[in-house]
Structures are given as C-alpha cells and as structure tokens.
Structure 1
Amino acid sequence: MGCCRSVAGGLATHWQRVGGVDGPDPSVAPPGRCPRWRRELDVFARSTTVQAQLSAIDEGITAVRDTVLPAVQGMPGCIGMSLLVDMQSGRCIATSAWQTEQAMRDSEGPISSFRAMAMFRGRAQVHEWEIALLHRDHRTGPGAYSRVIWGQTATGRFDEAIEGFRVGGLPQLEQLDGFCSASMLVNRATGRGVVTETFDSAAALDRSREQAEAIRDESTRRTGVEILDVGEFELALAHLRVPELV
C-alpha cells in the first residue's frame, strides 16, 4: 500500500483540540533522554479506521469531539482517546485506550455505534491491541502531526521487535527536531504492529521524513519486521492519558 499524506495547515489549525495527547498531569520523561525500562502494567487499545467521505470529515470530528469523547471517557477503565485524520485521502483513525483487556471488552456494546463511524459516512475496520510501548518527550500542542507505520512480524519475534525499537529506533527518533512522542501497539495473535511517531507540526514531520525512514529501515533489517503501510495524519483530537511505558 502507498503512503498517504495530509494537507499541511488543515484541521489542526481551525478545530479546537480537547486536552493534550498526554492528558492532565502526564508522565513525561526527562528532556533529552528515554527513561529506563519500567513495564509496570498492561494497557490496551481499540482502533477504528474509516475511509471517510472528504465532505464529512469536519462533521465527523465535531461528532467525535462533542458526543463520542464524553461518552467514552465515562466508561469504566477508559484512559482516553485520540483521532487522526488525513484530509487528502479521507482516512481517519480513532483510538481509545483501556486500563485492562476486560474493560476494553466490556465497552464493545456501548460504543458499537462509534465503531460504525456513521458520522464519517464510510466503512469502519476495528482492531484491538496491546500497548507495548509509549514514550513522551513533551506534550503536544495545536498543529501536531503523526506518522503511522503498520508492520508485520512472526508472532514469536514480537519481544525482539519491541526491544529493538525501544533501544534502537526510539532513542534516534527522540533526537529529531520537533519530536513529541512515540508508541507501539501490537497484536500478538496476528503478528501485526503499529508504530506512531508524533511531531510538533507539519513542518517538523516533513523535516523528519528522510531521517525517520532511515531509522525505520535500520530497525526492520535488525528485527525482520515487514512494513505494510505508512501514513501521515493531523492529530485532530488528543486526549490520551496512557502512562509512560518504555
């Protein structure tokens, strides 16, 4: 699949974002370095991807911000959600995070209408993940952009892939100008994984592209991960309160 790029200066400049990607009182690592490994808990996520009609994206963001977000936040075990949008391709990704796998499962019924993403007028695909890694250098502000990388690996090599990204790719990403945060979601049953790299602005994302690709190529050579797709998105809604997991 090809790389989808979003239009610089789009929604993030005229939609009021709710909270920050880190939520109130985020666990942020000391500037300039990744904290040492301290995996203390398992956290889970559900992502809903929809190929929206371009004319419906503004309406969809309003509905998620004003209706879906408050409803999801009120559910037991929810630790926030985010929304990524690509105004050029119409691809939108809403992700909710959960303290436990059971809390994520219990939310399936109440948010079934959200999964349908009817407000975006497109067909939705739902995926469930374990949040294997999350590192924040600092909080995001208005105008943040994200690069999302989908990959596939042998199910028995997940720990190798996670550790390779933690000790290799992540410290290099953190040195890039405008870097905010990075996360890795994995589905151990399918062998799929998703890495999200977030930057302060569209300009910072653009400047990082060549270096980030080199870091990605080096990491995949070491771990045997196959890259399936790469997309770039505006961070239209950022209200995740997932703790630091690195």
Structure 2
Amino acid sequence: MYARSSHIHARSSAVDAGIAYIHDSVWPALTGLDGYVGLSLLVDRLSGRCIVTTAWQSEEAMIASRRDADAMRDRAAQILGGSPTVDEWEIAAVHREHHSAPGACVRVTWARVDAEHIDRAVDGYRLATVPALAELDGFCSCSLLVDRDSGFGVATATFDNPEALRRSKSATDAMKAATVRDAGVEILDECEFDLVLAHLRVPEMA
C-alpha cells in the first residue's frame, strides 16, 4: 500500500478554515476515487504545521489520483496560506492497538538511512519499535512510511491524549537512539500534532 503526504505551514488564523475545507470537500471527493483507502489530518496549531495524508491500495492508484489531488491541494494551500511540500511513500508498517478518539495526539519523526540499509531499518521498526510502542500507556497506533530509493522515511506514533504523549517521550527517545545505533538511521526532525481527522483504513502491516 502507498501514501501521499502534503505538508503545509499555514497561517494560524487560517487553520480552522483549512480543516473545514478538508473535512467538507476534500475527504468526500477522495472517497470516489479508485483505490482510495483513507485520509488523516495532523495539525500543530502553535506553528501552523498541517499534514494531510491519503492512503492508496497500490502505487498505480496513487499515481492515477495525482491530478485530482493536485487541484484539491492547491485550494487547501490557498485557504491555509502556505505552500505545500508533497511526498509519496510506500507504507512499510502499520500497527493499531485501538482506534483513536477525539483528543488523540501524534508524534511524527522524519528520518533517513542509506538506501541499501532500508530493509534492515524497516525490519528493526517492525520487530523492535512496534512491540515497544505497544507497551506504552495510552498508545493507539503507529506507522512507518518509506521511500526506498532515497532512504527517507517518516514514522508516526499516536496516543490517546496529550498527557499520554508527554509521558511517552523518554521511552520513544530511547527507541530512536537504539534505531540510530543499530540501523544507522539519521533523525532529521520531530514534531507533535493534534490528530484532527482520522479516517485511514489501512490494515495491520507489522
């Protein structure tokens, strides 16, 4: 399965209007496209960072959706007042302990590894990181998206509420340190978001 993420730094004053557009217009429009699996929206209101991710049954379905997605993304960017950065990924792992509820929060980590080591990094995430995350109080779900050609990837960990996210910080920092040590991964960035829309229907892949 595959995913497309659109990352926009929005004006803080425009975030609510952008959320409404994505909920009322983008989400219903996408449901009619072949191979569409679901959508999520992450928002950091303090910085204005917004990430819309759509999932697709195949790379072909994702590619076929580009024209429609481009038009909706351009309109969303106009409303939010920022320029989007777009990435397309292979979904390498998904694990869900339970579905999220209102108030859920997500820690997103961007990373890179030498492309020839991507399989080792994915295996390490599936075999070590996923079980360790599942032991944390308030854990909901996690995912790993990768670009095998470049070695770039993005990992998400969703928790029930901001307090659970805060409590997990030391444990997830230790997991990242182990990943850096064992798989040669370079951590590029990390940010915490509110999970505003959660309609991804990606099956278990861990």
Instruction: Give the 3-state SS of the residue equivalent to 1:195 in structure 2.
Output: strand
Q: Which amino acid aligns with 1:86?
A: D
CA shift, 1:167, in A, is: 1.0
What is the letter of the counterpart of residue 112 of structure 1? D
Residue 181 of structure 2 corresponds to which residue in structure 1? 221
Q: Which runs of 4+ in 1 moved over 4 A?
A: none
Q: 1:88 corresponds to which residue? A: 46
Letter of the 1:242 counterpart: V
Please say if residues 144 and 202 of structure 1, whose CA atoms lie closer than 8 Å, have aligned partners that are also in contact: yes
**CA deviation digits over 1:41-63, x for unaligned, max 9?**
xx000000000000000000000
1:76-155 to structure 2, matched below 5 A, reads 76-116=34-74, 117-155=77-115
Q: Distance in 2 between matches of 1:245 and 1:67?
A: 29
Map of 1:16 onto structure 2: none
SS in structure 1 of the partner of residue 67 of structure 2:
coil
Secondary structure of the residue aligned to 2:45 is: coil
1:199 aligns with 2:159: yes
2:4 alignment partner, one of 38, 46, 63: 46
TM-score, length-scaled by structure 2? 0.97
How far apart, in 1, do the equivalents of 2:105 and 2:163 lie?
A: 9
Q: Distance in 1 between matches of 2:144 and 2:73?
A: 22
Q: CA deviation at 1:114?
A: 2.2
2:30 aligned with 1:75 = no
Q: Which of 3, 8, 20 is equivalent to 1:62?
A: 20
Specify the code of the residue in structure 1 equivalent to 2:40: S
2:150 to 186, 190, 201: 190
Structure having greater relative contact order (Cα 8 Å, sep ≥ 6): 1
In the alignment, is the contact (CA less than 8 A) between 1:177 and 1:204 conserved in 2?
Answer: yes
**What is the SS of the residue equivalent to 1:151?**
strand
Picking from 163, 180, 198, the partner of 2:123 is 163
Specify the alignment match of 2:135 in structure 1.
175
Aligned CA RMSD, in angstroms, stands at 0.7
For structure 2, the 5+ residue unaligned runs are: none
Q: Is the partner of 1:245 in helix, strand or coil?
A: coil
Q: CA deviation at 1:210?
A: 1.1
- Write the letter of the residue equivalent to 1:50: I
Following superposition, the deviation at residue 110 of structure 1 comes to: 1.2
Preserved contact between residue 168 and residue 219 of structure 1 (Cα < 8 Å): no
- Return the offset for 1:224: 0.3
SS of the counterpart of 1:110?
helix
Structure 2 counterpart of 1:126, one-letter code: V
Task: Give the Cα–Cα distance (whole angstroms) in 1 for the partners of residues 32 and 78 of structure 2.
Answer: 21
Between the two proteins, the alignment pairs up a number of residues equal to 204
Percent identical among aligned pairs is 48
User: 3-state SS of the aligned residue for 1:197?
Assistant: strand
Match of 1:233 among 190, 193, 203: 193
Q: State the 1:73 CA deviation.
A: 1.3
* Residue identity opposite 1:219 in structure 2: T
SS in 2 for 1:89: coil
Are the counterparts in 2 of residues 82 and 239 from structure 1 also a CA contact under 8 Å?
A: yes
How far apart are the structure 1 equivalents of 2:93 and 2:181? 20
Q: Distance in 1 between matches of 2:5 and 2:121?
A: 21
